Structure 1
Amino acid sequence: MEQTPPNDKAEAQAAAGNVRDRLMDDLQHIISEAEKWLDDSADTPEASETRMRFDDALRTAKSDLHKLEDSFLAHSRVVADSVNLYVQENPWKAVGIGVAVGAVIGMLLARK
């Protein structure tokens, strides 16, 4: 039973990881800006209810961000374990893939 090389999957998962990283960074930035805005807002009776709703939404966003980070870490561990297993089962294929990827990167860098 031959497995497909992890290269295609790894590239897709790396791209997804980059998107997740950017999303998490953006969410953290938005949350920190919202916290600053919340701290700077005036304590008026009209703003009190809005502040409570906004604070609830902010707590929910923080909770969702932590869940996303936990999910990303768990998924990363699964990917790392599967790549590790593939390399252990197919060491020469892994070396060949590494050489091919290195050659392509080298050619791309040499062009610039």
Structure 2
Amino acid sequence: MAKDYTSDSLRAELKSLADTLEDVLRSSSEKPLAEWDKLRSRAESTLKDTRVRLSDTSDKVVHQTKEIATQADSYVHDNPWKGVGIGAAVGVIIGVLIARR
């Protein structure tokens, strides 16, 4: 499952899951047992698909974060004074923002 899922597609998937679960909850007392089983099966299937997609996306984010951290580490090792300067600038900005509160 090496598909690329954007945040919009994940939102749509979660909305679909929520809609399915709302259908199940809303109609649980109105439907006969056969339809109840059909709705429950659909909800379980949607939940399983959503979990797989979220897991795939989570793995992708972890991988990208590790790559970025490795690149940042290499940059700081290659340019230590620039790294110190960037760290100091970020510290000053955070200090100013905190002081304004």
Gaps of 5+ in 2: 1-6
SS at 1:60 equivalent: helix
Match of 2:79 in 1: 90
Match of 2:40 in 1: 51
Match of 1:106 in 2: 95
TM-score with structure 1 setting the length: 0.62
Q: Larger Rg: 1 or 2?
A: 2
TM-score with structure 2 setting the length: 0.68
**Large movers: runs of 4+ above 4 Å:** none
Query: Which is bigger in relative contact order (C-alpha 8 A, separation at least 6)?
Result: 1
Q: CA deviation at 1:46?
A: 1.6
Structure-2 separation of matches of 1:100 and 1:55: 50
Q: CA deviation at 1:53?
A: 1.5
Match of 1:67 in 2: 56
RMSD, matched Cα: 2.6
Q: CA deviation at 1:108?
A: 1.2
Using the aligned pairs only, state the percent identity.
Answer: 36
Q: CA deviation at 1:44?
A: 1.7
